[in-house]
Structure 1
Amino acid sequence: MFIPHMIPYASPTYFIILFIALAPLVLSLLFRGKRINWYQSLITLFFLYISFGGSDYRQGLALIGYVIFQSVLVWSYQRYRKKTNQAGVFYGAVFLSIVPLIFVKVTPFMNGQNSILGFLGISYLTFKSVQIIMEMRDGMIKEYSPLNYIKFLLFFPTISSGPIDRYRRFEKDLNEPPMKEKYVDLLGSAVHDIFLGFLYKFIIGYYFGQVLLPIVDRHALQHGGLSWSLVGYMYVYSMYLFFDFAGYSLFAVGTSKLMGYETPPNFNKPFLSWNIKEFWNRWHMTLSFWFRDYIYMRLMFTLIKKKTFKSRIVASNVGYFALFLLMGVWHGLTWYYIVYGIYHATLICLTDAWLRFKKKHKQQLPSNKFTKAFAIFLTFNAVCLSFLIFSGFLDKLWFHNIFFMK
């Protein structure tokens, strides 16, 4: 029977196939407390095929080539590191691991076409590859299994858009399936996540994205420039972005739990954050924590160790701008992604300054439920403005005003 290409978690048919395929694995974990490893490998290949095969076979070929390249690179670095721990080799390995992603990101900017090396989820697989090289360098990963590494890369519930797991945590779940009692709790949590994902993505997200967003888009273009329609677009797009992505993440986490893996969550009520730093501890958490641990903290260690700046505050602010500029460029080489990164770096630096001022004048400043509610309100609006920038709609509005408005 011909199985068409399917985007993960995008259609009822995908979920029907998913639940049927996972049933033997669920029953084995539930009644035997064991995972059927050969069957998990089989359904992994099957779901990779329906996600990257068929009419999208070029993505599938790119994925195969990518996994081979990264596997050889990580294996070679691990072998070499047993003999020596030269910094140049480490930096070279990290650079090589991100080269495919650089090509994928730069190619559309250079010639307007997508790279033949690209496939859905290449960024998240690259984060996994860089992570394991860095943790090998730090001595956090002492034992390494090439087969487990490939399973880590190709874990199909999260391959296309995360959440971004950590190798050591994943390998622990891989080697130690949950006991039957614990799996019962995981199963209940999985059902909750999946049903909440349906509510988020296919009901609330659908309403904001498919019903309201075209309406406010049209009205904003008709009015042009600053208008209440543009404000409406800002809020509607922000709601759509959250519920759509949070819904997808819930599906990925819930599916992982059905398979006996405790993939970390990606969102934790981000719109209830009382400042922008708290927001990044709640929004796309696995991505923000990855950038924090593997980019920001290492950059700060280098700047402080080499005494590049006399002030730790200056070093911290430089680190924030470097971090969010990199995050903006990762999203794409367009002005609005870069401005989005600069905007968030500026907000975090201002937040740090405010927190220092608040600590110094703690006795003079009020702190109660009303001030906290006001802080949440300000943070929510600041975040929504950033999503308006991120959406690219301002670029679309500018183009429309030039060519269609008199």
Structure 2
Amino acid sequence: MSSFLQSLPNWQPYGTPHYFSILLLALLPIVIALFLGKRLPIYEELVSIGFISLMFGGTHYKQFFALLGYLIWQSLVVFAYQGYRKKYDHHLVFYLSVLLAALPLIIVKLAPTIFGSNSLLGFLGISYLTFKTVAMVMEMRDGELTEVTLWPFIRFMIFLPTISSGPIDRYRRFQQDYLKVPSRDDYLSMLEKAVWYIMLGALYKFIISHMLVTYVIPPIKLAALADGGLINWHTILYMYAWGFDLFFDFAGYSMFAVGISYVMGIKTPINFNKPFLARDLKDFWNRWHMSLSFWFRDFVFMRLVYTMMKRKVFKNRNTTSSVAYLLNMTLMGFWHGIHWYYIVYGIFHGVGLIINDWWIRKKKTINKKRKQAGQQPLADNKWTHGIGIFITFHVVMLSLLIFSGFLDTLWFHNFIRQPK
């Protein structure tokens, strides 16, 4: 098995037009079957397994075995908790189950810092699969998920379009889509959207992102490092170039994933919705990496607020929400990696959301007083909306500069000789 995997090419998902041509050819029988109102479950899984094997082929073959071990581990955790939850509901067992579901990801994230090398448990996509299983355990605790069987669980986990980098789907939503084969008209509409998503993704990833990362960013980065100091104008240029590249690269990938999902008859949620037009940070997180943002909102933030209010940790509800914002975003920062710039990025957005929330409350209070005094409320028009977009855009770009890790290189690891 190992020698076979090593003999395979290593194809990164949606990495080249050649990958797409082979993938779409493999999906053709699925398209024909869905057009005729049927699914080909065995063939679909064979396609997923085949392309996953190519994703972990060549020098990445160990990741294939890591994925197999991971699926076995998560199956044991999820189904053990499901069996337990049918009769009992102790909070310690729930917390332990969540910890066990997240344990492989925790080990993978901590290994480079503790041991100085990557864990053998790691594979491309482990973060997004972990979000799926942790969510399932939490929904089982809530009583929203009661009857999960092994094959649908595996199908959900290894769904090809989203396995490597999302978007993060929910089991119930995915299962409803899978069990309800779209009508011919609905499927034709899905194919039309799929073509649009794939073409737009190609523009974003293969053209705009490629131009930025190949021709724009490298000279700016070198110039910024040569300038040195805490900050310089080339670093500002790098901030915008890298921020746009991150968006176009990841949004392009997400559009590919959603488009291929639609081809397979599954309406995977979109991941980006014009985030640079957000008028404040709350609006931004409702538009940026939406599946991740909504996951943290539903399974971390809301539960933190509920728990702290139930136990009356703080008397003031606004204090409760502020602490929840900070913990939620800091945890998101830690999820990206155990580096100071990821953690600061999370704290940055946590504080930003606290300020955002404070201003919304303050504005309501001011407008209430103005109304009592017979005055017009504070202006809320296209101009104030535009100012909000302008401020939010630059705040987000600053946060992405922190996230990029470039400041770490500029300040602490800058080996480029500065001009005298």
The verdict on a shared fold, with TM-score over 0.5 as the criterion, is yes
Listed as ranges, the matches of 1:97-108 within 5 Å are 97-108=101-112
Deviation above 3 Å: which 4+ runs of structure 1? 400-406
Paired residue for 1:203? 207
Contact 1:3 1:50 survives alignment (8 Å): yes
Q: Which segment is superposed worse, 141-150 or 321-330?
A: 141-150
Paired residue for 1:340? 345
What SS is found at the alignment partner of 1:6?
coil
Contact 2:275 2:287 survives alignment (8 Å): yes
Q: Does 1:257 align with 2:256?
A: no
Task: Give the drift of 1:175.
Answer: 1.4
Find 1:315's aligned residue among 289, 313, 320: 320
Q: Does 1:215 align with 2:219?
A: yes
What SS is found at the alignment partner of 1:361?
helix
Pairs aligned (count): 405
Q: Does 1:393 align with 2:406?
A: yes
Contact 1:197 1:247 survives alignment (8 Å): yes
What is the Cα-based RMSD across aligned positions, in Å? 1.3
Q: Does 1:39 align with 2:56?
A: no
Letter of the 2:12 counterpart = I
Q: For 1:202 and 1:356, how far apart are their aligned partners in 2? A: 43
Letter of the 2:226 counterpart = Q
Find 1:244's aligned residue among 218, 241, 249: 249
Paired residue for 1:151? 155
Q: Does 1:122 align with 2:144?
A: no
Paired residue for 1:368? 381
Q: Which segment is superposed worse, 387-396 or 354-363?
A: 354-363
Contact 1:190 1:253 survives alignment (8 Å): yes
What SS is found at the alignment partner of 1:84?
coil
Q: Which whole-Å deviations, capped at 9, do the CAs of 1:280-318 have from their partners, x for residues lacking one? A: 000000000000000010110000011100000111110
What SS is found at the alignment partner of 2:10?
coil
Q: Which whole-Å deviations, capped at 9, do the CAs of 1:123-180 have from their partners, x for residues lacking one? A: 1000000011111111101221111011111111100100000000111112111111
Task: Give the drift of 1:54.
Answer: 2.9
Cα distance change of structure 1 residues 199 and 403 upon mapping to structure 2, 3 Å threshold: closer
Q: For 2:85 and 2:95, how far apart are their aligned partners in 1? A: 12
What SS is found at the alignment partner of 2:55?
helix
What SS is found at the alignment partner of 1:371?
helix
Contact 2:226 2:417 survives alignment (8 Å): no
Listed as ranges, the matches of 1:264-303 within 5 Å are 264-303=269-308
Q: For 1:393 and 1:401, how far apart are their aligned partners in 2? A: 10
Q: For 1:284 and 1:178, how far apart are their aligned partners in 2? A: 27
Task: Give the drift of 1:37.
Answer: 1.1
Task: Give the drift of 1:51.
Answer: 0.7
Q: Does 1:169 align with 2:182?
A: no
Task: Give the drift of 1:243.
Answer: 0.2
Task: Give the drift of 1:186.
Answer: 0.3
Contact 2:226 2:416 survives alignment (8 Å): no
Q: For 1:87 and 1:357, how far apart are their aligned partners in 2? A: 38
State the identity %. Answer: 52
Task: Give the drift of 1:87.
Answer: 1.3
Letter of the 1:186 counterpart = M
Q: Which whole-Å deviations, capped at 9, do the CAs of 1:95-142 have from their partners, x for residues lacking one? A: 100111111000000122100000001010000000111111111012
Taking structure 1 as the reference length, the TM-score comes to 0.97
Contact 1:221 1:400 survives alignment (8 Å): no
Paired residue for 1:353? 358
Q: For 1:9 and 1:3, how far apart are their aligned partners in 2? A: 17
Task: Give the drift of 1:364.
Answer: 4.9
Letter of the 1:193 counterpart = Y
Letter of the 1:396 counterpart = T
Taking structure 2 as the reference length, the TM-score comes to 0.94
Task: Give the drift of 1:35.
Answer: 1.1
Paired residue for 2:372? none
